């Protein structure tokens, strides 16, 4: 089996697992009309699904691959690189320092810092002081930025993922959230 086939199969398995968890959660919540809920959930991907990490990481990696073929100054989008990198970090439940975010921007540190300021002004990120080290500060996506990133990934996934993926459900699923966060818990 080729690498592409394995990745495609892995994506489909992640989707099916997420759908099964969402359906199980609905059944545990006492939904009587399981037959009515099933098709809606089977045809959706939860906003906290681990699949979005794969999509975002794929986009970020693709941008870095492109830099090995073309001069990076031709395609510079440090804000987008920061958002993708932060989104992946959030999906893994990892904190990201300001300096790591600047490195993730694939631009000079001064540009990275300027772009972080711009993203903060726009309300897409916020800073948190490190309680253990006052010299260090972490950056995180705001809820708005997280939701917009997930929405963007859901819309763009048609060209990235198999055609049988559909728009995420608006319903929150505690089971899907715990699945997405439990496997990546790192502080």
* 49-59 confidence digits (pLDDT tens): 778 888 888 88
The answer to whether the Cα torsion of 144, 150, 154, 155 is positive or negative is positive
**pTM of the predicted protein model:** 0.62
The CATH number assigned to the domain with range 3-179 reads 1.10.10.10
Alpha carbon distance 173, 180 (integer Å): 11
* 102-132 confidence digits (pLDDT tens): 999 988 999 999 999 999 999 999 999 999 9
Strand partners, 141: 125
Pick the residue with more confidence: 168 or 126? 126
Strand partners, 139: 96, 127
C-beta separation of 141 from 104 below 8 A: no
Would you give the distance in Å from CA 101 to the centre of its chain? 15
Would you give the distance in Å from CA 49 to the centre of its chain? 9
The encoded tokens of residue 64 equal: 């870095």
Question: How large is the average pLDDT for residues 141-149?
Answer: 94
CB neighbour list of residue 179: distance below 8 Å, 6 or more residues apart: 17, 18, 21, 50
- Edge-to-edge order in the sheet of strand 125-129: 96-97, 137-141, 125-129
**10 Å Cβ neighbour count for 127?**
12
Which residue in 117, 44, 46 sits closest to 79, CA to CA?
A: 117
């Amino acid at each position: 089996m080729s690498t592409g086939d394995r990745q495609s199969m892995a994506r489909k398995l992640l989707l099916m697992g997420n759908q099964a968890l969402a359906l199980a959660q609905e059944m545990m919540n006492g939904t009587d009309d399981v037959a009515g809920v099933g098709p809606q959930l089977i045809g959706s991907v939860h906003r906290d699904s681990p699949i979005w990490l794969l999509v975002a990481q794929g986009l970020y990696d693709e941008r870095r691959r492109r830099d090995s073929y073309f001069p990076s100054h031709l395609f510079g989008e440090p804000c987008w690189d920061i958002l993708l990198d932060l989104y992946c970090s959030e999906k893994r439940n990892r904190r990201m320092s300001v300096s790591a975010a600047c490195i993730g921007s694939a631009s000079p540190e001064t540009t990275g810092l300027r772009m972080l300021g711009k993203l903060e002004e726009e309300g897409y990120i916020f800073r948190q002081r490190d309680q253990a080290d006052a010299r260090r500060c972490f950056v995180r996506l705001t809820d708005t930025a997280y939701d917009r990133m997930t929405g963007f990934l859901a819309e763009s996934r048609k060209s990235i993922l198999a055609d049988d993926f559909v728009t995420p459900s608006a319903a929150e699923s505690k089971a899907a959230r715990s699945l997405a966060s439990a496997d990546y818990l790192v502080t």
